[in-house]
Each structure stands twice: as C-alpha cells, then as structure tokens.
Copies of this chain bind each other. A is one copy, B any other.
Amino acid sequence: MNTVTRPGLRERKKQRTRDALLRAALELFTTQGYEHTTVDEITEAVDVSQRTFFRYFAGKEDAAFAVQDLAHTRFAVAVRERPLDETPLEALRNAVLKDWDTIAEAVEQVVPIDLYLRMCRLTESTPALLAAHLRRSDEAGEEVARIIAEREGLDVDTDPRPRVAVAVFAGVIRVTERRWGLSEDLGATETRALTVRYLDAMGPVLAEKWRTG
C-alpha cells in the first residue's frame, strides 16, 4: 500500500539477480583477469543458468562496462545542465569537474567503488576491454557533441566544431585516464587535479613552442 507504487516482487527479484551477476562478474574479472573468467564461473557464483546471464547482459563485455555506462550517461546530463554562457570547452571542463564530486555515491548504489576502480585499471591493461572502452567513449562523445551543437544552435552534420571540440576534450581525458590507470599510487583527488591541469594546459600546448633553447 505505497503511495509510490513500489516495484512488484518480480521486478525486485530481477534487480537482485542483475546486481548479483554484475558484482560477481566484476569481482571475478578483477581477481582472475577478464579473459580467464568464464561466463560459467560467473553464473555458478550466483547460481543461475548461463542463459540467464545473457538475458541480462549482451555479453561478457557488457557486464564489464555496466558501471562505466552509468558514468557516461551522467556526464552527458552534466553537460546539458551547464549554463549557456559558458563556452563549449568551459562547459565540458566544468561538467567533468562537477560530476566528479558526486559520481562516487552514484556508483556505490550499484557496486562498491573500490571494485569499480579496480575494474577501470583492469580495462587499461586488457586489450579487449580497452578496445570496448574506447568505442563506448567514442559513442558517448558523439552524444555530447550533439548536446554541444544544440547548445550553440548549430547543425552537428554541417559544422565540424562541436565534434572537434569534443574530440579534443576526449583526447585530454584519455591521457589522464591512461595515466591514472597505469600508475599504482595515484588517488582520485590527485587525478582530479591532474585533469584540471591538463585541460588548462591544453590551450598553450597548441600554440607555444616547447623548447626553451
């Protein structure tokens, strides 16, 4: 008798199964490695049939990126919410930074953050995962480019600037991603600072001569 109709038992059960599968998958991936984890191992850990796994996730890869997708979606929303007086790159910059502070709790709703972070690192060192990650980022970038174009009242298929701006921005993000993913000792706070530094350094990099001689 909830005023807000609570999802029925069926719905709740489904959610539990999905969560359990997701958590088991990430746990196994991060401890044994992605390639060395079979779907059977995941389903055995949750005690469902293999077929069920594929009903919840399009494939192994899809499970690996369920959380990452959440982050991408949130970022797109954050960009859409930026005030219109910011330039495109300002909007992108401020969107990441604002999102950064609240992303942790959003992730925690689904899986322990620690698990997510370990998964991110694994992505960087697993070719198959890195490939999938880059493609998903590319996709997310496309969406953001459309948002930027809309903000600026431009046609994304005529004017290249939205896509160029997003591509440039994504490139910088990728650098910090890599840096963070491969270094053992680099906390979230330091990485955030690094991101700011790189983004702010971007302008000069393009014009300046680097050599002091």
On A, residues with C-beta under 8 Å from B are 87-89, 127, 130-132, 134-135, 138, 152-154, 160-161, 163-172, 174-175, 178-179, 197-198, 201-203, 205-211
Instruction: Report A154 CB to chain B, min CB distance, Å.
Output: 7
A135–B130 Cα gap in the complex (Å)?
Answer: 7
Instruction: Report A168 CB to chain B, min CB distance, Å.
Output: 5
Instruction: Report A68 CB to chain B, min CB distance, Å.
Output: 14
Across the interface, do A164 and B153 meet the contact criterion of CB distance under 8 Å? no
* Known contacts A164-B171, A171-B168; is-contact A152 B210 (Cβ 8 Å): yes
Which of A206, A208, A209 lies at the interface centre, i.e. has the most chain B CB atoms within 10 A of its CB? A206
Across the interface, do B161 and A167 meet the contact criterion of CB distance under 8 Å? no
Chain B residues contacting A153 (CB-CB under 8 Å) are 211
Residue of B nearest to A136 (CB): B131
The majority secondary structure among interface residues of chain A is helix
Contacts A131-B131, A154-B210 known; list 18 others, CB within 8 Å. Answer: A130-B135, A134-B134, A134-B138, A160-B197, A160-B198, A160-B201, A164-B201, A165-B206, A166-B171, A167-B174, A167-B175, A168-B171, A168-B205, A169-B171, A170-B171, A202-B206, A203-B206, A206-B206
A201–B78 Cα gap in the complex (Å)?
Answer: 27
Across the interface, do B179 and A160 meet the contact criterion of CB distance under 8 Å? yes
Residue of B nearest to A138 (CB): B134
A213–B203 Cα gap in the complex (Å)?
Answer: 24
Chain B residues contacting A167 (CB-CB under 8 Å) are 171-172, 174-175
A206–B206 Cα gap in the complex (Å)?
Answer: 9
Across the interface, do B131 and A89 meet the contact criterion of CB distance under 8 Å? no
Instruction: Report A123 CB to chain B, min CB distance, Å.
Output: 11
